[in-house]
Amino acid sequence: MSLAALLAATIARLERAGVPYMITGSVASSYHGEPRATRDVDIVIDPDPAGITRLVAELEAAGLYVDAGVAHRAFDDRTHFNAIDATTGWKIDFLIRKDRPFSREEFGRRAEANLLGTPAWIASPEDTIIAKLEWAVASGSDRQLSDVAAMLDIGGESLDLAYIERWVDVLGLHGAWSRAVMLRSAD
């Protein structure tokens, strides 16, 4: 199964389960910036308790491995769980939407896009940048900052920099933001 096929099947299952979602991570940054290889898909979801049960059943029906207990604990703890396609090794990380101002606004700003041939809800470029900055701080990964620099280069003046800078201030991401901007200038 290709990434495009896995994404299409997963989106169909999310919609069948009635679970609101948005594509984030490397798939979103590749869409908004410079395409790059990835072996997983990150999806923020906002289910209710019955929705998580329906989603697990839908994923299992699609032939994906998912641990129902881990999924329910992730829902309760507002963390994450994954589903794996055993034949290809593709992994889908489902991140339960955090209950904080940025995450609520980010989810409200998601937009529909044609993603690898499938209509899908995806994080805005600005919110993808902010999330990548958070991951850069949490992981120490320069790859996240390179993704941000590419999105800045490609998005250019169409990006809402005031929105980005507001959340950089609120979330304390000044160091990562400065490094990403310097990477952009270096290219």
Distance of CA 31 to the CA centre of its chain: 11
Identify the pLDDT of residue 18: 98
As a whole number of Å, the end-to-end CA separation of the chain is 35
Assess whether 182 and 105 both reside in one domain.
Answer: no
- Sign of the dihedral through C-alpha 58, 56, 46, 114: negative
Assess whether 119 and 131 both reside in one domain.
Answer: no
DSSP 8-state secondary structure symbol assigned to residue 33? S
At 184, is the pLDDT very low, low, confident or very high (cuts 50, 70, 90)? Answer: confident
- Determine the structural domain holding residue 179 and report its residue range: 127-186
In CATH, what number is assigned to the domain containing residue 46? 3.30.460.40
- Domain total in the chain: 2
Instruction: Please give the model's pTM, rounded to 2 decimal places.
Output: 0.93
Assess whether 32 and 65 both reside in one domain.
Answer: yes
From 123, 149, 170, the end of a domain falls on 123
Assess whether 99 and 84 both reside in one domain.
Answer: yes
From 85, 107, 123, the end of a domain falls on 123
Assess whether 100 and 164 both reside in one domain.
Answer: no
Assess whether 11 and 103 both reside in one domain.
Answer: yes
Tell me what the pLDDT averaged over the chain comes to.
94
Closest CA to 93 of 51, 39, 156, 137: 39
Identify the pLDDT of residue 4: 86
d(CA 17, CA 13): 6
Assess whether 80 and 152 both reside in one domain.
Answer: no
| Residue 75 identity | F
102-134 pLDDT, tens digit per residue, is: 999 999 999 999 998 999 999 999 999 999 999
Closest CA to 33 of 168, 134, 145, 138: 145
From 107, 123, 139, the end of a domain falls on 123
d(CA 103, CA 41): 18
Assess whether 78 and 91 both reside in one domain.
Answer: yes
Identify the pLDDT of residue 186: 56
Identify the pLDDT of residue 185: 56
Q: Is the pLDDT of residue 3 over 90?
A: no
Closest CA to 121 of 50, 15, 21, 38: 21
84-103 pLDDT, tens digit per residue, is: 998 888 999 999 999 999 99
**Unique residue bearing structure tokens 């160091």:** 175
Assess whether 62 and 75 both reside in one domain.
Answer: yes
Identify the pLDDT of residue 37: 77
**Alpha helices in the chain, H assignment, sequence order:** 3-17, 25-32, 49-61, 68-77, 101-108, 125-139, 142-155, 161-171, 174-186
Assess whether 74 and 95 both reside in one domain.
Answer: yes
Assess whether 107 and 163 both reside in one domain.
Answer: no
Assess whether 83 and 163 both reside in one domain.
Answer: no
DSSP 8-state secondary structure symbol assigned to residue 78? T
Closest CA to 6 of 90, 81, 131: 90
134-175 pLDDT, tens digit per residue, is: 999 999 888 999 999 999 999 988 999 999 999 999 999 999
